[in-house]
Amino acid sequence: MATSRQESLLQIVDAHQALQVGDEWSSERLVLHVKYACVMSSFYSMTLRSQSCRNIVGTIDVKTPLDLKTIALHARNAEYNPKKFAAVIMRLRDPKTTALMFSSGKVECIHRYPPTTSSTEANCRLAARKYCRVLQKLNFPAQYDMFKICNIMGTSDVRFPIRLEGLLNDHSRFCTYEPELFSGLIFKLVEPKLTFLIFVSGKLVICGAKVRYDP
């Protein structure tokens, strides 16, 4: 028996399929496209998922305070400028990642990749383990603990121009749009809890996912 959530997802799919190619644009149509894209993301092939995903951010707690100056002096590919940023920036080539190491022991691992590169959350996890080993070699009693994915960012394209002012007028509760400061409209979707940066061209940037298969 279908749950209420499954029924609501099926209603979104049915409504999207009822759209006609020549239908006049409306903000409701855009919202339906966005929701449909979220639903169908669960059924896309792995290749398409990789193409739409742009970076993954994971965090770990190494369970020990870190002397950032020591790390910057003795570790390879590390830089530290406390006047600009209160963390050591360290990079790995394989997997290609950037880590932000804070004195509290928190490490953020940022895994960026082009659309032609296949990558998974497992690579982010592997990189986090490697950063932990680097700290251990520097005689920190670092532990690999509490790894979690805190953000997955992706991109998409609805393939039609978007009238951002109309979207703001009809859905002001969920939108922020200040064209003098930023050319995109910020749309916060309640279910699933995601943030979209929407541009006139029809391109979208999706932020806030914790797993790649959020419907």
Residue 137: what pLDDT?
94
Give the integer Cα–Cα distance in Å for 25 and 30: 8
Same domain? 124 vs 81: yes
Q: Is residue 30 part of a domain?
A: no
**Given the structure tokens 């965090």, which residue do they identify?**
59
Q: Can you give the residue range of the structural domain that contains 195? A: 158-214
Residue type, 122: A
Same domain? 170 vs 117: no
Same domain? 168 vs 190: yes
Residue type, 90: M
Same domain? 71 vs 125: yes
Same domain? 183 vs 132: no
pTM here is 0.64
Q: Is residue 6 part of a domain?
A: no
pLDDT band at residue 134 under the 50/70/90 scheme: very high
Residue 21: what pLDDT?
44
Is pLDDT at 60 greater than 90 in this prediction? Answer: yes
Same domain? 62 vs 143: yes
Give the integer Cα–Cα distance in Å for 113 and 52: 11
Is pLDDT at 38 greater than 90 in this prediction? Answer: no
Give the integer Cα–Cα distance in Å for 171 and 174: 6
Domain count, the chain: 2
Q: Is residue 126 part of a domain?
A: yes
Same domain? 178 vs 210: yes
Segments of the chain assigned E as strands: 53-61, 78-79, 88-92, 97-101, 106-112, 148-157, 175-176, 185-189, 194-198, 203-209
A 10 A CB-CB count for 30 gives: 24
Residue 56: what pLDDT?
87
pLDDT band at residue 133 under the 50/70/90 scheme: very high
Percentage of the chain lying above the pLDDT 70 cut = 70
Same domain? 68 vs 93: yes
Is pLDDT at 213 greater than 90 in this prediction? Answer: no
Q: From 118, 90, 132, select the one nearest 212 (Cα to Cα).
A: 118
Helices (H), 53-120: 68-74
Same domain? 119 vs 204: no
Q: Which of 36-40, 80-84, 87-91, 137-141 has the lowest mean pLDDT?
A: 36-40
Same domain? 190 vs 119: no
pLDDT band at residue 120 under the 50/70/90 scheme: confident
Same domain? 146 vs 62: yes
Same domain? 93 vs 165: no
Q: Is 59 in contact with 127 (CB distance < 8 Å)?
A: no
